[in-house]
Amino acid sequence: MLVSEAPLLRLAIGRELASGFELIHSLGTTSAERRLDAGAMPDALVVDLDTAERTAVPNFLVRLVERGFVGPRVLLSTHFRPEPAAAYSASCLTHFALARPWRPGALRELMESVLGVAWPRAAAGGR
């Protein structure tokens, strides 16, 4: 599930993950909560921290724990620096950080890694 208010970010993420991943788009945490309440069962979440509803994001992450969601959460932000974000991601089992902008393919590689899946490059459109 992709949680972001930003249309251009949703488009960029969609382009990177469209082949090989089924995406559920949410226009913020309220939309994501409604989708989860309606029965959406994502394997992972990509959450944009650079949002107008900044105070809602921590509460949303807490409610995920209360719901029993155990899947990985990839947190995106322009405020992350690439090196510390990579170090943080390497040290955690559930939360992963990715600095925006990321290098092409970095989000896909991170998602494949945290979900334990990989597709041959030819099957992924030669990317």
pLDDT tens sequence across 62-77: 999 899 998 999 999 8
Max CA distance (Å), the chain: 42
* Choice among 17-21, 24-28, 47-51, 123-127 with the minimum mean pLDDT: 123-127
Residue 14 has pLDDT above 60, yes or no: yes
Can you tell me which residue has the tokens 């409604």?
34
Domains along the sequence of the chain with CATH: 2-115 (3.40.50.2300)
| Structure tokens given for 34 | 């409604």
Quick one: pLDDT band at residue 95, thresholds 50, 70, 90?
confident
Percent of the chain with pLDDT over 90: 50
Are 28 and 56 in contact by the 8 Å Cβ rule? The answer is yes
Residue with more model confidence, 124 or 79? 79
Residue 127 has pLDDT above 90, yes or no: no
Return the bridge partners of 25, or none: 2
Radius of gyration for the chain, computed over Cα atoms and rounded to the nearest angstrom: 14
Are 48 and 5 in contact by the 8 Å Cβ rule? The answer is yes
Position 116 scores a pLDDT of: 85
Q: Which of 49, 77, 79 is nearest to 61 (CA)?
A: 49
Q: Measure the CA dihedral 77/86/36/20, to 10°.
A: 110
Q: Give pTM, 2 decimals.
A: 0.83
